[in-house]
Amino acid sequence: MAPISAWSANTWSLIVYTVAVIGIVGLMLGLSWILGGRDWGRAKDEQFESGVLGQGTARLRFSAKFYLVAMFFVIFDVEALFLYAWAVSVREAGWAGFIEASIFIFILAASLVYLWKIGALEWAPASRRPSSPSEPDSPAAKPDRPAR
Amino acid sequence: MNLGSAHLTALTPMLLVSATIVIVMLAIAFKRRHRGNATLAVFGLNLALLTSLGMLYIGHEAITVTPLFVVDGYALFYTALILVATLATATLSYAYLEGFKGEREEMYLLLCLSALGGVTLACAQHFASLFIGLELLSVPLYAMIAYPVKSRRPLEGGLKYLVLSAVASAFMLFGIALMYSQVGSLLFLDVGAYFAGSASPIAVVGGAMLLIGLAFKLSLVPFHMWTPDVYEGAPAPVANYLATASKVAVFAVLTRYFVEAGGYYQISLVKVLSWLAFLSIILGNVLAVRQNNVKRMLAYSSIAHFGYCMVALIAGGPLAVEAVGAYLLTYVVTSLGTFGVVTLTSSPMGERDADAIYDYRGLFWRRPYLASILTAMLLSLAGIPLTAGFIGKFYAITAGVDAHLWWLLGALVVGSAIGLYYYLRLMVSLFLRDPSNRQFNAPLDWAQRTGGIMTLLAMLLMLAIGIYPQPFIHLLQLASLTLPG
């Protein structure tokens, strides 16, 4: 038998680990499948909602605006992270860093202007907006803001 | 790392494209005008193209800008090639989108973003910039493919491309991570030095996964499944962009990876790649024969063409980079013309594009110029002498003969023969009798339209390369990569 080199020892430990993981998962699922009781009933088919009876189905239709705004938030939030990195090293980065950060902020601001102007931040459906989305209107003038 | 003025000068094309993106975005925000916004985007891209060509001709030694980018003749050549393809797409989109009943301006924004990704790839010498460039290239493409979002086919194509592209990116990231775990650096040169010695199998697996990701973008068989559907679904100008700029950018970075990051040292992977090339040539051509849809046929033919180009890459040796450059240059010029005619026949955009072979029946009797251009372009795709396609194939075969890749060359010859059949099939239908009910009428004033001028220029350039290739060969020699060591 060949001597166990460092590489093959590593590989073997990885293989054993993988097999063990698959085995444990299989064991857990398999045992609960074999040992677990099974019965059906009208009330048993309902989802468990912490004791509250479920109402309606999960097939609700959310307004796409909701996702859109959530996505904008994530995008701008993630980009703000870069500013934190700059903020902790503002002295070391010097003027060059300042100029780069300014360009970055300018591009962020430009994209915000773009989103605002194309009406992506409007909450109201298009039919209930006071004016066409191409014309700027201040966010305060929105007819129906969601109640908080 | 300090950025000096020399570095900024070297990055000028990239900075110009970035500035164009921001300016076009702000222009759209304040005033939506199709003509104005398109002109702005084209102006910025032209400026970037002129600077990159100027820098290429003046010629200076490679400048490394941060560890991520290197600006050398090679990078500038491919930057110019990508920008030319982008400009052609912008021109074609303008005529095409006139018939689109939605907001048309964002197309140019997405196009510029994608072009920036391509330019990043051309300059990438680091896995981080490779990945950023690749994502920047393809994320806007999802939106561009699904641009007419209300119709079914583009949406389907866009979703397919999104999902499969994400899978390919995941493979690639994992591959890069595996290589990094062994090499400890993401720089191409360090990875190359590592592979020149004895490489551990983990790194080779990483290299293989990276190649899977890149082969997906180049749609080499067996990673080609998405290509025909996406090409068919995408609006014609976007299909043009997919076939030219996006693939050229990926091939540019693949070649640089091979030369600098020790792709050639991974003998087993080169063998696998030659099988991929072999399969791409044969399957791409055979499947193209069965298509009645011009866009699908061109999709399969592009699979085959990238198989040919792979032959030049696999051959290695001193000629490889030049041969790849020659092939890509001729392929881009020819494809721009072909897709240009398809787009012009389909524009302004209607219910569907003119993509059935039947739509081209008798085109010669209705639109003699368009049909003549298409004929010349198809001959070039087939690689007939006196056209650009011949020069490209000649280069690929020369590189292959140098490296004694006999069975790959056999596939190339057989593939070209099959290719001639389906190109001729389309060509013949151009000259058949005009069917009485025609659905597509390219506008009569096509020659005045910028798109028409663009396709005409593409044809003239194609003939120029075919008849007098010397200036272009000179250009290719400016764009050489030097093998390390």
Q: Does B3 touch chain A (CB under 8 A)?
A: yes
Does this model's pTM top 0.80? My answer is yes
B397-414 average pLDDT score:
93
Determine contact: B26 vs chain A, CB below 8 A.
yes
Hey, is B292 helix, strand or coil? coil
Instruction: Determine the Cα–Cα distance for residues B235 and B89; give it in Å rounded to an integer.
Output: 11
Task: Output the domain CATH number for residue A108.
Answer: 1.20.58.1610
Specify the residue for token string 């074999």: A34
Cβ-defined contact of B28 to A114 (cutoff 8 Å)? yes
Pairwise CB contact (< 8 Å): B28 & A107: no
pLDDT tens-digit map of B29-48? 998 888 899 999 999 999 99
Q: Could you tell me if residue B170 is left (phi over 0), alpha (psi between -120 and 50 degrees) or otherwise beta?
A: alpha
* Average pLDDT score, chain A: 79
Asked if residue A45 belongs to a domain, the reply is no
Q: Which of A113-122, B379-388, B434-443, B450-459 has the lowest mean pLDDT?
A: B434-443
| Per-residue pLDDT at A4 | 60
Q: Inform me whether the C-beta atom of residue A118 falls under 8 Å from chain B C-beta atoms.
A: yes
**By the 8 A CB rule, do B213 and B169 touch?**
yes
At B63, give phi and psi (nearest 5°).
-110, 125
Enumerate the H helices of B11-126 as residue ranges: 12-30, 34-58, 73-97, 106-123
Among A73, A54, A70, smallest CA distance to A62 is for: A70
Q: Is pLDDT above 70 for B421?
A: yes
pLDDT band for A47, please (50, 70, 90 cuts).
confident
Segment B11-39 shows an average pLDDT of 93
- Of B2, B3, B22, which is closest to A110 when you measure between CB atoms? B22
Closest residue in chain B to residue A115, using alpha carbons only: B29
Q: Name the one residue in this structure whose structure tokens are 């881009």.
A: B332
Enumerate the domain spans of chain B: 26-478
**Angle, to 10 degrees, between the axis of helix B226-233 and the axis of helix B294-315?**
130
- In 3D space, the residue among A106, A114, A111 whose CA is nearest the CA of residue A134 turns out to be A114
Query: Residue A130 falls within a domain, yes or no?
Result: yes
Domain membership of residue A134 (yes or no) is: yes
The pair of structure tokens assigned to A128 is 């209930």
ipTM of the complex model: 0.83
Contacts of B26 in chain A (CB under 8 A): 110, 113-114
- Evaluate whether residue A18 is within a structural domain: no
Q: Is the pLDDT of residue B181 over 90?
A: yes
- The predicted structure's pLDDT at residue A139: 43
Question: What single string gives the DSSP state of each residue in A111-123?
Answer: HHHHHHHTTTT--
A136 falls within a domain: yes
**pLDDT class of B76 with cuts at 50, 70, 90:** very high
**pLDDT computed for residue B61 by the predictor:** 77
Closest CB to A110 among B3, B26, B32: B26
Do B25 and A110 lie within an 8 Å CB cutoff?
yes
Reported as a pLDDT band with limits 50, 70 and 90, residue B332 is: very high
A75, A105, A108, A114: best to mutate for the B interface, most B CBs within 10 A:
A114
Neighbour count for residue A126 (Cβ, 10 Å): 9
The yes-or-no verdict on residue A6 having pLDDT over 80 is no
Q: Whole-angstrom Cα distance, residue B430 to residue B407?
A: 35
Identify the CA nearest to A114 among candidates B106, B114, B16, B142. Answer: B106
What values do phi and psi take at B102, rounded to 5? -135, -155
pLDDT at B192 over 80: yes
Whether A118 is covered by a domain: the verdict is yes
Position A147 scores a pLDDT of 42
Tens digits of residue pLDDT in A63-122? 777 788 888 888 889 888 989 999 999 999 888 889 989 999 999 999 999 998 888 888
| Lowest model confidence (mean pLDDT) among A3-7, B365-369, B457-461 | A3-7
- Euclidean distance between CA atoms B419 and B390, whole angstroms: 13
Note whether B30 contacts A117, CB cutoff 8 Å: yes
Domain that holds residue A107: 64-141
* Chain A contact present for B468, CB below 8 A: no
Range B148-187 burial, b when 16+ CB lie within 10 A, else e: beeeebbbbbbebbbebbeebbebbebbbebbeebbeebb
Three-state secondary structure call for residue A62: coil
Domain count, chain A: 1
Q: Are B32 and A134 a contacting pair at CB < 8 A? A: yes
Nearest CA in chain A to B3: A96
Cα-atom radius of gyration of chain B, to the nearest Å? 21
Looking at the complex, report in whole angstroms how far the Cα of residue A102 sits from the nearest Cα belonging to chain B: 14
A135 against B209, higher pLDDT:
B209
User: pLDDT tens for residues B249-273?
Assistant: 999 999 999 988 877 888 888 899 9
Instruction: Using a pLDDT cut of 70, give the percent of chain B over it.
Output: 96
Q: Is the pLDDT of residue B169 over 60?
A: yes
**Nearest CA distance, A9 vs chain B (angstrom):** 15
pLDDT at A23 over 50: yes
So what's the pLDDT on residue B449?
74
Report pLDDT digits (tens) over B209-245.
Answer: 999 999 999 999 899 999 999 999 999 999 999 999 9
Q: Considering only CA atoms, which of B41, B218, B235 is closest in space to residue B155?
A: B235
pLDDT confidence of A130, banded at 50, 70, 90?
Answer: low
**Contact: A96, B32; criterion CB under 8 Å:** no
- Using a CB-CB distance cutoff of 8 angstroms, which residues of chain A are in contact with residue B5? none
Q: Which candidate from B26, B32, B200 shows the least CB-CB separation from A113?
A: B26
pLDDT in tens, B293-327: 999 999 999 999 999 999 999 988 778 899 999 99
Q: Is the pLDDT of residue B140 over 80?
A: yes
